[in-house]
């Protein structure tokens, strides 16, 4: 082989390699474009599909019913967003909610005069539970997964002890107006949900504490070197999560009118699913309240549609699990496309 022939083949081979690189780059761009189909577009698509599948779905009665039903979950999910943004997790919120719903009924005991005491007492109890989780994680050094898993067992046991395993009554008609009462066609609790969402959005995007939450989740070591009180931030996000879980429990107690020993079962899974669907990374540092609100609405639409189609509760659990896996998978693809 002479020199000219060798150079010609090398040149052709270089073009082939270059062409292959371009194809890979084009494929990466395609993946990036697909994964940029954000949660808002998914929500719109889901609404269209649901309206086509069920003629009842878009009726005002059903829409406001969805909003009323997702409000307790929305409160828990907003609190969970703070925790997950720091790279943590709280598996105790479902059991915590069960216990707090029972406390609402127990403190109120069919007396309207005790409503303020019940509300303040439950908000305080929820904050203390979140504080206990935060202390175990930040001061003792217990991993969030283990600490809140233990909390799940403790709060569930306390709820069963308090209710003796049977439904507990105690709410009043005035208290039930939180979810039954309306301003125009919109239930009171829906205004509470979106009001809390706006407040949480402002805290995360317009305050020093919010910037610190993102800093801790983005890079804990860098945040500490930059002077961010990491443990202080972590402690307070669990307090916030406990407080908002208590607010969700108050609304749930108002809607149910009774403290069921299993009232909060599955709320931890639904809250995590809503947060992840909304685009918040389980690794922390990425996400926000806007996505969580849409994630909560998506969960509500899915649950409502499955109920309208008479799908069993067991299959609904399977669907929720698949939603979480799919959402995390899409996020992973997005991260890989950025690296390429």
Intervals of the chain under pLDDT 50: 3, 6-15, 17, 20-21, 23-25, 27-36
- Residue 121: per-residue pLDDT: 96
- Residue 5: per-residue pLDDT: 52
72, 251 Cβ separation under 8 angstroms? yes
Does any domain span residue 246? yes
- Residue 33: per-residue pLDDT: 43
- Residue 108: per-residue pLDDT: 94
75 CB contacts (<8 Å, ≥6 apart)? 193, 196, 244, 245, 247, 248, 251
- Residue 306: per-residue pLDDT: 87
- Residue 246: per-residue pLDDT: 97
Does any domain span residue 37? no
- Residue 237: per-residue pLDDT: 97
Does any domain span residue 39? no
Distances (CA, A) of 158 to 95, 105, 144, 216, 312: 9, 15, 21, 33, 30
Does any domain span residue 6? no
- Residue 339: per-residue pLDDT: 58
Domain with residue 119: its CATH number is: 1.10.3470
Does any domain span residue 12? no
Does any domain span residue 298? yes
CA 73, CA 56: separation in Å to the nearest integer?
Answer: 23
- Residue 202: per-residue pLDDT: 97
Does any domain span residue 32? no
Tell me which residue range forms the domain holding 331: 44-339
Q: What is the pTM of this model?
A: 0.85
Dump pLDDT digits (tens) for 168-209. Answer: 988 999 999 888 888 888 889 999 999 999 999 999 999 999
- Residue 113: per-residue pLDDT: 93
- Residue 4: per-residue pLDDT: 53
| Token pair 């109120």 in the structure block, residue | 108
CA 123, CA 247: separation in Å to the nearest integer?
Answer: 7
- Residue 131: per-residue pLDDT: 97
Question: How many structural domains does the chain have?
Answer: 1
Does any domain span residue 10? no
> C-alpha dihedral over 261, 263, 269, 273, to 10 degrees?
180
Could you tell me the two tokens for 278? 């909304």
């Amino acid at each position: 082989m002479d020199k000219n022939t060798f150079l010609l083949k090398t040149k052709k081979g270089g073009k082939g390699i270059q062409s292959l690189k371009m194809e890979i780059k084009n494929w990466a761009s395609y993946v990036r474009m697909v994964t940029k189909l954000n949660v808002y577009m998914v929500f719109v698509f889901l609404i269209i599909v649901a309206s086509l599948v069920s003629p009842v779905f878009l009726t005002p009665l059903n829409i406001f019913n969805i909003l009323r039903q997702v409000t307790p979950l929305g409160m828990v999910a907003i609190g969970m967003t703070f925790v997950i943004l720091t790279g943590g997790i709280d598996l105790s919120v479902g059991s915590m909610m069960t216990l707090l719903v029972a406390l609402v009924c127990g403190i109120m005991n069919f007396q309207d005069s005790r409503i303020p005491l019940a509300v303040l007492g439950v908000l305080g109890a929820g904050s203390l539970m979140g504080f206990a989780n935060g202390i175990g994680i930040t001061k003792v050094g217990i991993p969030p997964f283990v600490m809140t898993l233990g909390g799940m067992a403790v709060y569930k046991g306390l709820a069963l002890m308090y209710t003796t395993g049977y439904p507990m009554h105690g709410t009043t008609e005035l208290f039930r107006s939180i979810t039954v009462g309306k301003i125009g066609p919109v239930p009171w609790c829906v205004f509470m949900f979106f009001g809390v969402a706006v407040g949480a959005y402002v805290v995360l995007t317009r305050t020093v504490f919010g910037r610190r939450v993102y800093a801790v989740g983005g890079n804990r070591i860098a945040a500490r070197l930059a002077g961010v009180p990491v443990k202080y931030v972590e402690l307070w996000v669990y307090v916030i999560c406990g407080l908002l879980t208590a607010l969700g429990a108050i609304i749930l107690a108002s809607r149910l009118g009774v403290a069921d020993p299993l009232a909060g079962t599955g709320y931890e899974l639904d809250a995590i699913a809503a947060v992840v669907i909304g685009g918040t990374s389980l690794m922390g540092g990425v996400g926000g309240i806007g996505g969580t609100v849409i994630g909560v609405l998506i969960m509500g639409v899915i649950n409502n549609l499955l109920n309208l189609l008479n799908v069993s509760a067991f299959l609904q659990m399977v669907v929720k699990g698949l939603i979480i896996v799919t959402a995390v998978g899409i996020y992973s693809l997005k991260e890989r496309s950025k690296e390429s």
